């Protein structure tokens, strides 16, 4: 079906003024409300998937302080959320971090911020699809009682083909529009949160009867109990990863009711639900399984990347344990679908402002979605996962560690963009000073510190899975390599689209008028 290009022509009306302002993209208006936005935010984070993939690595880094590090990771995310909320109120644009950082710091910084978001999302999508595949076969094995069916996950060809099928299905659903996405998410998010509560209650109830179990201690909530700063930043990087995605509800600001306020409120609501879920499961899992490196212990390196696969039956029994497998499949599949939202809309915005090829700015006339950008994101995700799976057996753990670097990169830029964009308003009131200056600035500084320490640490081949490329840690190669690839592509685009990089399309500015409560 023919698609309509969203690039504006001379004389088009744009949001924020006729020149240098943000532009409407042709997306469907008033499609998502507060609850729908919050559900999409929770879904994109994928709490069940994040927990099964990171409980083990986090315990390996920080031991009993896992709940503390989960709480510590929430703090910079909350501070950055203030930046997102305030920037969205002033400039509600689906390009979010890209658009805002261009307006604050100019085209090159903004382009790299947008690239950080794009590449982080592609990496997350590939991991989500892989986890969905693993638990899909585990679930089938439990339902059919066949070990040979469950063992299909270990067949590389079957695993890759099934993963590509999941990616194709998620791409197709996202292609059809935000309304279809929203209603699917209500069911999948509801299932995830219900199963997490059941798991937590049963784990705490059975904890006294299990070897290696622990009594709850308030000392688990103390981040100063972590042995070293290196361990702290490694754990914090993982913790930041598990919160990533809450900003997806900001990417649909142009499709939300009350675009200036509703997405920010949805983001805050989503984050409260997420942090409560993480603390509940971290404490319950630690009480039941302990942190030992044998059997069901959370520190067991053989089960570190898939903790729920080991804990499901002991905690919930063979009957209800299937529900946990189903919840992981639902979590990964739901997030796989919604994670296409920020990548497609960021690519749409970058194309609309001539920072990316024009084809990404095409809007489907019926579904009102960035169809071309969504399909390209799906293809890129499939290629990345297939290549990385064939190259490295440790792709899941190493890309998760690398993700922390990329997430810190573009979140920190967005936080600092808020401070600089509103710099002339910081003296207007104590509220403006706090929510537009101090809080986002602190969040940006925290994320910058984690970025710098992580960049230093990941040079060590022992970091992450312990694999290396020419003596350099594979986490470093993945994280830094993808960011440097962005620099190369930016230089190519600068030759193809000099107007954007001269600041003639989307201009640097401070707000002339800010929406008030």
Element (H, E) at 473: strand 472-473
Alpha carbon distance 221, 67 (integer Å): 6
- Res. 9 pLDDT band, cuts 50 70 90: very low
Listed residue (417, 450, 340) closest to 118, CA to CA: 340
Q: Is the pLDDT of residue 502 over 80?
A: yes
For residue 3, the model assigns a pLDDT of 42
Element (H, E) at 311: helix 307-338
Report d(CA 29, CA 44) in Å as an integer: 21
Mean pLDDT of the 110-121 span = 92
Confidence band for 316, pLDDT divided at 50, 70 and 90: confident
Residue identified by tokens 């399309």 is 505
Lowest mean pLDDT among 90-99, 101-110, 331-340, 369-378: 331-340
pTM above 0.85, yes or no: no
- 294/302 Cα distance (integer angstroms): 9
What is the Cα–Cα distance from 142 to 330, expressed in whole angstroms? 16
pLDDT, tens digit, for every residue of 227-244? 888 888 888 878 887 888
Task: Give the pLDDT mean for 69-80.
Answer: 90
* pLDDT tens track for 295-312: 888 888 877 777 888 888
Reported confidence tier of residue 8, pLDDT bands at 50, 70, 90: very low
Confidence tier at 21 by pLDDT (50, 70, 90): low
Average pLDDT over residues 251-260: 69
Spell out the residues 6+ positions from residue 100 whose beta carbon is closer than 8 angstroms to its own.
87, 91, 93, 110, 414, 417, 418, 421
Question: According to the 3-state scheme, what is the secondary structure of 232-300?
Answer: HHHHHHHHHHHHCCCCHHHHCHHHECCCCCHHHHHHHHHHHHHHHHHHHHHHHHHHHHCCCCCCCCCCC
Higher pLDDT, 126 or 101: 101
**Residue 513: its pLDDT value, please?**
41
Summarize the confidence of residues 458-477 as an average pLDDT.
77
Task: Assign 44 a pLDDT band (cuts: 50, 70, 90).
Answer: confident
Euclidean distance between CA atoms 16 and 175, whole angstroms: 28
Average pLDDT, the chain: 82
Check whether 60 has a pLDDT greater than 70: yes
Decide: residue 30, CB within 10 A, 0-12 exposed, 13-18 middle, 19+ buried: exposed
């Amino acid at each position: 079906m023919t698609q309509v290009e969203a690039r504006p022509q001379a004389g088009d009306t744009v949001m924020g003024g006729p020149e240098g302002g943000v532009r409407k993209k042709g997306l469907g208006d008033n499609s998502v409300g507060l609850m729908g936005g919050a559900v999409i935010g929770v879904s994109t984070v994928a709490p069940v998937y994040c927990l099964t993939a990171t409980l083990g690595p986090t315990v390996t880094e920080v031991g009993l302080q896992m709940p503390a590090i989960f709480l510590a990771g929430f703090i910079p995310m909350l501070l950055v959320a203030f930046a997102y909320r305030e920037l969205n109120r002033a400039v509600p644009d689906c390009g979010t971090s890209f658009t805002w950082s261009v307006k604050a710091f100019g085209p090159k910084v903004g382009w790299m911020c947008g690239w950080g978001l794009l590449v982080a999302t592609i990496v997350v999508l590939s991991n989500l699809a892989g986890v969905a595949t693993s638990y899909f076969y585990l679930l089938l094995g439990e339902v059919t009682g066949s070990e040979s069916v469950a063992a299909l996950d270990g067949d590389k060809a079957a695993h890759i083909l099934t993963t590509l099928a999941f990616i194709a299905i998620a791409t197709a659903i996202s292609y059809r529009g935000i309304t279809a996405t929203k209603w699917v998410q209500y069911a999948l998010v509801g299932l995830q949160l219900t199963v997490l509560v059941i798991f937590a209650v049963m784990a705490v109830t059975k904890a006294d009867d299990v070897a290696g179990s622990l009594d709850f201690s308030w000392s688990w909530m103390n981040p100063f109990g972590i042995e070293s700063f290196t361990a702290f930043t490694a754990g914090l990087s993982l913790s930041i990863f598990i919160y990533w995605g809450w900003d997806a509800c900001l990417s649909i600001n142009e499709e939300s009711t009350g675009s200036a306020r509703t997405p920010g409120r949805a983001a805050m609501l989503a984050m409260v639900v997420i942090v409560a879920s993480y603390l509940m499961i971290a404490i319950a899992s630690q009480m039941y399984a302990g942190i030992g490196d044998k059997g069901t212990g959370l520190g067991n390196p053989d089960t570190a990347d898939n903790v729920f696969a080991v804990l499901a039956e002991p905690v919930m029994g063979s009957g209800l344990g299937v529900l946990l497998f189903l919840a992981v499949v639902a979590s990964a599949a739901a997030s796989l679908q919604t994670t296409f939202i920020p990548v497609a809309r960021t690519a749409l915005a970058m194309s609309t402002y001539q920072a990316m090829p024009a084809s990404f700015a095409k809007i489907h006339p019926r579904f009102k979605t960035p169809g071309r950008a969504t399909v390209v994101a799906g293809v890129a995700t499939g290629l990345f996962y297939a290549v990385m799976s064939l190259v490295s057996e440790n792709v899941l753990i190493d890309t998760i560690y690398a993700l922390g670097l990329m997430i810190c990169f573009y979140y920190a830029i967005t936080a600092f963009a808020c401070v600089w964009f509103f710099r002339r308003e910081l003296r207007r009131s104590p509220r403006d000073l706090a929510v537009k200056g101090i809080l986002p600035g602190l969040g940006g500084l925290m994320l910058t510190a984690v970025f710098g320490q992580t960049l230093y640490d990941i040079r060590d081949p022992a970091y992450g899975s312990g694999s290396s490329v020419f003596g350099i840690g594979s986490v470093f190669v993945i994280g830094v390599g993808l960011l440097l690839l962005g620099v190369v592509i930016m230089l190519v685009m600068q030759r193809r689209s000099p107007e954007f990089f001269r600041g003639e399309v989307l201009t640097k500015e401070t707000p002339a008028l800010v929406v008030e409560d």
